[in-house]
């Protein structure tokens, strides 16, 4: 399965601040850092999320149709992540709510235009 996901950035310092805030809500901590990238994870066994300056030296661009989904665990955490992303300068791509069946999610873009989702599954009575 997924080991880690890398997202391109054109301003590493700005992106790191954004992801420190957003991923920190999930217990994400930095575990790898170089002058070109920083990566976060919640445990040694969990997948990681990283931001990087592109290796080829060209500008980073957001992938059309590419999205990273963060498992939030509860609707309240979905709401908190979405709110923190917007508070930290991200843009709204769809507020928190049920989508299909018991899927509850919210969508946002980071400061470089990369699309992310926070999601969980809820019981029918919620």
Tell me: the pLDDT tens digits for 74-118?
999 999 999 999 999 999 999 999 999 999 999 999 999 999 999
Report the helix count and the strand count for the chain, using DSSP H and E: 2, 8
Tell me: the pLDDT tens digits for 2-18?
899 999 999 999 999 99
The predicted pLDDT at position 1 comes to: 75
Tell the residue number behind the tokens 């994400």, with chain if given: 28
Residue 125's pLDDT band (cuts 50, 70, 90): low
Q: How many CB atoms sit inside 10 A of residue 3's CB?
A: 8
CATH number of 4-53+66-121: 3.10.180.10
- Can you give the pTM of this predicted structure? 0.91
Q: How many CB atoms sit inside 10 A of residue 79's CB?
A: 17
The predicted pLDDT at position 124 comes to: 79
**CA angle in degrees (0–180, nearest 5) for 26-28-32:** 165
Instruction: Provide the edge-to-edge strand list for the sheet that holds 91-98.
Output: 67-71, 115-121, 103-109, 91-98
Per-domain residue ranges of the chain: 4-53+66-121
């Amino acid at each position: 399965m997924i080991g880690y996901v890398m997202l391109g950035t054109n301003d590493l310092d700005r992106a790191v601040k954004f992801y420190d805030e957003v991923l920190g809500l999930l217990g994400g901590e930095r575990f790898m850092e170089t002058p070109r990238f920083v990566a976060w994870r919640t445990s040694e066994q969990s997948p990681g999320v990283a931001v990087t300056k592109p290796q080829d030296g060209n500008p980073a661009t957001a992938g059309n149709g590419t999205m990273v989904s963060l498992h939030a665990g509860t609707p309240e955490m979905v709401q908190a992540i979405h709110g923190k992303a917007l508070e930290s300068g991200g843009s709204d791509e769809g507020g928190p709510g049920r989508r299909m069946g018991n899927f509850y999610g919210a969508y946002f873009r980071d400061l470089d235009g990369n699309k992310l989702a926070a999601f969980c599954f809820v019981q029918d009575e919620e």
